[in-house]
Amino acid sequence: MRPSILFPLFAPLTSLPGLGPRLGKLAERLTGPHIIDLLWHLPNGLIDRRFAPKVAEAPAGRIATLTVTVDDHQAPASPRQPWRIRCRDETGFLELVFFHVHPAWLEKHLPLGRSVVVSGRIELFNDIPKISHPDYIGPAEDHDFVATVEPVYPLTTGITPKVLRKAIAAAFTRTPELPEWLDPALKAREAWPDWRVALASAHAPADESDLSPENPARTRLAYDELLANQLALALVRASQRRLPGIALTPTGMLRAKVLAALPYHLTAAQNRSLAEIDGDLTAPRRMLRLLQGDVGSGKTIVAFLAMLSAIETGSQAALMAPTEILARQHVATLTPLAEAAGIRIGSLTGRDKGKNRERLCADIAAGAIDLVIGTHTLFQDDILFHDLAVVVIDEQHRFGVHQRLALTAKGKGIDVLVMTATPIPRTLTLTAYGDMEVSRLDEKPPGRQPIKTATIALDRLDEVVDGLIRRLDSGARAYWVCPLIEESETLDLAAVTERFAALQQRLGPRVGLVHGRMKAADKDRVMEQFANGAIDLLVATTVIEVGVNVPEATVMVIEHAERFGLAQLHQMRGRVGRGQGASTCLLLYDPKAGATARSRLAALKDTEDGFAIAEADLRLRGAGELLGTRQSGLPEFRLADLSLHGALLAIARDDAQLIVHRDPDLESGRGAALRILLYLFERDTVIRNLRSG
């Protein structure tokens, strides 16, 4: 149950004055459904209305608050002309200008002879100061209320600043004092205000410095959010560790056979990660580990060697991939190694139907298959394992936690290894995967070729096509990735088919097309043609971003590269440089692209280190866009900015670990306050899992 002290903050927005059913719905879309969501909606600018000169002293271009008397109304001669209202003080005349405003409204709020206060930007016309559509009009006695610093909030169509400010002011009257959850020494050291004071201060900026993320009030609120995140993850990790696992006791015989069959030696990073995984597998608790590896760093072989530990003890292993293309590729890569070790490998995807599927399911249930590779089909209810001990989930961010849990429910004490080929900045790793141990593959296997990366303006497109045709004529194979157009799959499809048609005119049947709307069988057929050299050029959307492996491909052209994130560009570049040939990546950009987009492309050009690129991406784009937060299950932060608050996150993580060590069930005085913090940031499920919660 949510603590009663928080009930006012979780009341619906429509309970606030001025937010009826229609405006309430718009406000909910802007901020979220509850009063606390409105309070988390902080201003991103300010307007200083404290400048209150006489009319004759009001300079053009500046926002001023003036007290004047209404002198005359000049109705327009035609609907296209404005309504003009002449006002005055003892020093001169001011003109108020209104377009398309109802005369009755003007006559009500600006009656002749009335002393009023108006605020807005001063303009000069024929040496007469004027304000077009003043921001504020009211009785003269409102002067002190108007002549303040006004916070500016992000808005949505239909919600005016006045309505939003009124609702936020009303929300504050319902905001309770909450018990302090911060460590007293930390709060004193950082000179942070109390929570309610910090929130009020963040909504009442006096100058630009108050809008800075480093401002003490905003820093304190960001820390609260990060602490809630880290404490929730620490509690999840602690409860995971309490779950009994199975300590595997492999001899290493199967692993030795596979290592002998490999045409290369493992890197130091691969050996280090394997040792960390082995430590988990042989311990009597469940493994939950993230294996992060840059493009081409050799994650799949590490995962396979880990799964052999389970298979060697008579158990089964499962490898789940996000797409059929990637699942089939894993099968192709691992089958020769499985044969060398003498283990039975099976594949199960959505394509398997009827008798074939029944036979596969029967073999899995009987233990006749040691390693099952598949897509999300693997966690369907009718898939039963004989004795599943280790699960590997590839491209973890494409699956939800529920899918992971569904697969781990198919055995007892299952060890889980999740992998991602998308390098994740350390701060995001802590916030998204803080419930897991982390291993990083930060070296490329020997023999991987460097990729020459060049940026070329799109107005040189014809030159690029001519150069590409010369490369294809000399035996090269190439990818051409078409632009991401907003988030519209239909527009993406139009862009890729248009480019395919244009290139097909030049190259005929040597060009193939792959996109997300194609049937899986058609996609596989085109990929197969590209892999065996039947076609030289593959035109594609970002469907080829992950897992496609054609070592003979040596050229990657990315059209409108400025529209992609850095991590995504790095993934696509990683489709080349996999074989022995020298590889090239051409980033075609719009010459009118902004400075941030150009910085992204420059960062990609300067390095092939995916982890360095991920950190640059975080700095340039912020965490919200990185990896597509909404799609990936990464947390969204309202108050913290991971590109700026990395140091705060480290403090929050240490604090959370200490709390869980000292007070694992949050039963102390501070523990009770921390429970309120978790509810405040809607981490309710964690509290329900506490033994005493």
Class of domain 253-441: alpha beta
Percent of the chain with pLDDT over 70: 90
Residue 250, pLDDT > 80, answer yes
Task: Report pLDDT digits (tens) over 324-336.
Answer: 878 888 998 899 9
Structure confidence at residue 259 as a pLDDT band (50, 70, 90)? very high
In angstroms, how far is CA 53 from the centroid of its own chain? 47
279 or 598, higher pLDDT: 279
SS3 letters for 572-583?
HHCCCCCCCCCE
Task: Report pLDDT digits (tens) over 291-312.
Answer: 988 777 889 999 999 999 999 9
Q: Strand, helix or coil at 438?
A: strand
Structure confidence at residue 410 as a pLDDT band (50, 70, 90)? confident
Structure confidence at residue 525 as a pLDDT band (50, 70, 90)? confident
Q: Look up residue 294 and give its two tokens.
A: 């840059």
- Average of pLDDT values for 447-460? 86
Q: Look up residue 231 and give its two tokens.
A: 């404490």
Task: Report pLDDT digits (tens) over 567-604.
Answer: 788 888 888 887 777 899 999 998 888 887 888 888 88
- Average of pLDDT values for 431-460? 82
Structure confidence at residue 624 as a pLDDT band (50, 70, 90)? very low
Structure confidence at residue 246 as a pLDDT band (50, 70, 90)? confident
Q: CA-based angle 674:197:6, to the nearest 5?
A: 45
Question: Are 484 and 545 spatial neighbours (Cβ–Cβ below 8 Å)?
Answer: no
The pLDDT, as a whole number, for residue 444 is: 75
The pLDDT, as a whole number, for residue 631 is: 35
Q: Do the domains spanning 50-147 and 253-441 agree at the CATH topology level?
A: no
CATH for 451-607 is: 3.40.50.300
- Average of pLDDT values for 246-275? 93
The pLDDT, as a whole number, for residue 401 is: 57
- Average of pLDDT values for 608-622? 73
- Average of pLDDT values for 486-504? 76
Q: Are strands 92-98 and 128-132 parallel, antiparallel or unpaired?
A: parallel
The pLDDT, as a whole number, for residue 658 is: 95
Q: Where are the domains of the chain?
A: 4-46+155-211, 50-147, 253-441, 451-607
Average pLDDT in the chain? 87
Structure confidence at residue 126 as a pLDDT band (50, 70, 90)? confident
CB 121: neighbour CB atoms within 10 A? 16
Task: Report pLDDT digits (tens) over 2-43.
Answer: 999 999 999 999 999 989 899 989 999 999 999 999 999 999
The pLDDT, as a whole number, for residue 83 is: 93
Task: Report pLDDT digits (tens) over 531-563.
Answer: 888 999 999 887 665 556 788 899 999 999 988
Question: Are 103 and 83 spatial neighbours (Cβ–Cβ below 8 Å)?
Answer: yes
Q: Strand, helix or coil at 365?
A: helix
CB 74: neighbour CB atoms within 10 A? 13
CA distance linking residue 463 with residue 85, whole number of Å: 61
Q: Taking Cα atoms as reference points, which of 611, 514, 623, 598 lies closest to residue 570? A: 611
Structure confidence at residue 484 as a pLDDT band (50, 70, 90)? low
- Average of pLDDT values for 48-57? 94
Percent of the chain with pLDDT over 90: 55
Long-range contacts of 520-526 (CB under 8 A, 24+ apart): 520/324, 520/325, 520/350, 520/351, 521/351, 523/325, 524/324, 524/325, 524/328
Structure confidence at residue 627 as a pLDDT band (50, 70, 90)? very low
Question: Are 395 and 585 spatial neighbours (Cβ–Cβ below 8 Å)?
Answer: no
Task: Report pLDDT digits (tens) over 657-690.
Answer: 999 999 999 999 999 999 999 999 988 776 665 5
**How many residues are given for the chain?**
693
The pLDDT, as a whole number, for residue 403 is: 60
136 or 426, higher pLDDT: 136
- Average of pLDDT values for 613-624? 67
The pLDDT, as a whole number, for residue 78 is: 87
Give the architecture-level CATH label for domain 50-147.
Answer: Beta Barrel (2.40)
